[in-house]
Every structure is written in C-alpha cells, then in structure tokens.
Structure 1
Amino acid sequence: MDLPVIQHAKEICEQELRKALATGKQGGIEIFYQPFVHVGTGQVIGAEALTRWVHPLLGEISPRIFVPLAESNGLVAELDRFVLTVACRQAKRWLNTYGPIRIAINISPHSFQHADFVAVILNVLQETRLPPECLEIELTENIALRQEHTLSTFARLKGIGIKIAIDDFGTGYSSLNYLRMFPVDTLKIDQVFVQDVENSQQEVPITSAIIRLAHELNLQLVAEGVESEEQKNYLMQKDCFVMQGFLFSKPLPADQFEQFLQADVHSGLRRC
C-alpha cells in the first residue's frame, strides 16, 4: 500500500477516534469487563476494564491499532480518562448493588507521565463517588523512564488508597527493580508463562518462581490468560488462586458482566 494511502487511512481513523471519544457508546467505544475469579471459592473479586471500538462504518478496530494511534497523536490521555470515568461509574453502580468489586484499569505510560495524572484520577473518583480502594491501576514495566516522577506518582496514588498492579510481569528487564523500588500491591503473571505451562520445560520454573516471589513479598497475584483446566490446576498447586481468562469468562459488556455477578451472588458466596 502506498505511503500516502496509509497516511490518509491514519488520518481518517484519528478523526473517527476523536468523534468516538466525544460520543462514547454512540461512536462505538464501549468498556468490557473480564472477571478476576478466586478459584478456591468461586468468588468474583474484581474485573479488568478493556476498551472495545466497533465503528458504525469501519467495523471492529483492534486496540493494537487505536491505542498506539491515540498515543502517537496525543489522544491517549483523553482515552484513558474516558475508560476511567466509564469503568469507575460502573463499579460504583455494582458497589451499591453487590458490594465492593475491584476494578482494574490499564493506564498508558504516556498518561502516567503527565504532571496532572493524579489530579485526573482524583477528579474521576470524586465525580463517580467510587471509593479509591475499589480502583486498581495497572501499569506495564516500561513506565520507569523517569524514576523520580514514577516514585512520586506511586506514593501519591498509594496515599489516596488506590492499588497498583504490574501487568505482564516477567516480560520486562526491570521486574525485580520494580519490586525493590515501588510500592506495588499486585503482580499479574503474563499469559505467555501461563499458556506454556502445559508443554514447556522452561516456562514452568519461571511461573513457579514468580508465584514464590509474590508470596515472599506479601503481594497479591493474578494469573492472566488461563484457558484450560490443566493450567488452572497447576496454578492452584502452586498456591495461585486468583485467575483471569477464557476458562472462566471472555470480556463481557456491563450488562452481561452483571449477570455473571448475579450468578455469583446467588451461589451464596461472599465476595471480598
């Protein structure tokens, strides 16, 4: 494809993304929720908020396309605020009906480095009236580009009561340095390690080591991308009990996720 054609397509996509952020669900942008399940009790203890964009004319657009586009054209802070606002508002509704449910939101490093990032979080929490302890910010390991700023922001988030998770743990080069320097609450074991549990002689020790490390440091664990009973059983044997993946549920729109919650409530289990 010719470069001018590619550039034109990008410009169209950028224009449509701006419109979609302004109109929300009418523009095809919707937040889906994938549950965190405690397999020892069957409880739904939280969910990750995931952005989906189905354009009325262009069809479904992958996050692998529109998120980098938003990062490159300065829209990512607006996108992250949109996700924060919608997900926190929804979590507050569920809090009123079902009790506290941890809502995890993956934040772009570009947004995290903004000087007003913490102020944005505070504004969203005030606007939606969601207690800060119900919000977990997920960050990948590549945010430590400006360590002084990162440490300061982490400290301010923790001071508010917000939880912090490191997403895709084990795939970066600074994993252990993170745990030494930053006040992290949760490690999310990357799905690459989880999915190779069944057939790899190399990844199993890495997965086991991450679980042991989290236990030693008193950190919560979430295993991502769990798709089979074999993976679930292996993780349970290693004392990792909170899982996320297609074995339990695909990402769901809010109304379907609520049905998932209702099923949990009707089972008589107490959610934490």
Structure 2
Amino acid sequence: MSQTWIILGATSTIARSFARLASDSGDGVLLAGRDIADMQATASDCAARGAPLAEVIAFDARDAASFSAILKRASDIDGTLSVAVFVGSMPTQDAMDADPSLIAGTVTDNFTGPAIFLTMIAPILEARGNGTVVGVGSVAGDRGRIGNYIYGAAKAGFHTYLSGLRNRMGRKGVHVMTVKPGTVDTAMTWGMEKLPFLAQPEKIAADILRGANGQKNILYTPLIWWPVMTVIRLIPERIFKKLQV
C-alpha cells in the first residue's frame, strides 16, 4: 500500500532532507508551509526521485484557517497517510526577555499550532487504522535551561501532547513518534557559539525516517543526546539551578 507524508514546515532544512529520503523510498509527499516557491522546488526534486505524489499546499501554524484545505486534501489521498511535523521557531531567550510579545508566537509555532492541526487530522488517520505521526520536538524540552527556557517549555508541552496522542492513536493502529534532536546545522542555529554535537540535517532526517519505519516511540538524534539528557535530567535542582547549561 502506498504511503503519503504530509510534511508540515516543509521549508525547514531537515524537512527538505526528509521529503527527499521519503521520495527515494517511493512515498508521496504533500509539502505544507508558507513559502510556496521554495516548496515547489522541493516538490519537483521529490517527483524526480520517484515520489508518486509531490504537491504543495499553504500552511501557517499561526493561522488555523489554513488547516482546512490540508484536511480536505488529506481525505482525498488514497493509501496510508502519515504526518511529519517540522514546524518551529526559536527566538533567543534574550530577545523574548526584552520583548515578551514574542512568547505567544514561539509557543504557537512549537506547540499549540501543531497540536491543533494534529487534533483535527487525528480522526482521519484513526478511521484508516494505519499511518504514522512524527512530531519533532527538542532536547531543550527535557529540562528548563537558562539559555532557552521559553522555547524549551513550548517543546516540553509538545512532547507531553505527543505522549498522550500516542496513547490515544496507538489503540487505533496509528503510531506516534516523538523526536528530540540536539543541535542541528540549520538556519535556527547559524551564528550561535559553543554548540555541542552539532549534526547535519541529512543525518537527522535519515534517523527520523528510520525511526518511523521501526515504530520507535521516542527518538533522540544523534543518539549521543540520550545519555547526555539522562544525566541532565538527574541533576538535583539545587545544583542544576546554579549551572550554565
């Protein structure tokens, strides 16, 4: 049975790599995002790689009115339907401290917007009884750190949402995977200093597709972040609050 991925935030560097790899595997892609011209270029590449469906559609996490057209198109697609969420934004903590109005958009991009969309599409996936939902969070959501705790809080909320969605949808044959990448060489991190274990987006995308095919529940990528975050989570709060991590 053919599979089509709805890829939200399809203009992100990791999402582009994921779309190409999915196309190489013979999957279709419905690329959803704000920059139509950018996505059309990716769609052409995906079609050349063998994707049986390679389309673009407008999506804005901050505009729920944009969701209905995707839901309608999803209902018309035959075969297995899966969703991968790469949506996100990351203003610096300093910027949000100086301008708290940035917080609402950060939370919408990283948590509430994707959560609303997934809640709306969940009945469509459950009715088919198959498919996968991939939600890309961040290791920043594992513990509040001084340098990015608002962004981390949004990702933590998304992690918890995905955990509940996994509990719900797994009973209907739909698998939900939470992805926790570390630092990745993308536009989000350009210009930042002291980024440990910096990974290339192609590596992250390959790990995500492999994890989805293997029905992993939670994926740290690169894998080094699993022991690193395990240690960070275990540090007592009285010590952690004094650390610059």
Q: Relative contact order (alpha carbons < 8 A, sep ≥ 6): 1 or 2 greater?
A: 1
Q: TM-score, normalised by structure 2?
A: 0.38
Q: Which has the higher strand share?
A: 1
* Structure label with greater radius of gyration: 1
Q: TM-score, normalised by structure 1?
A: 0.35
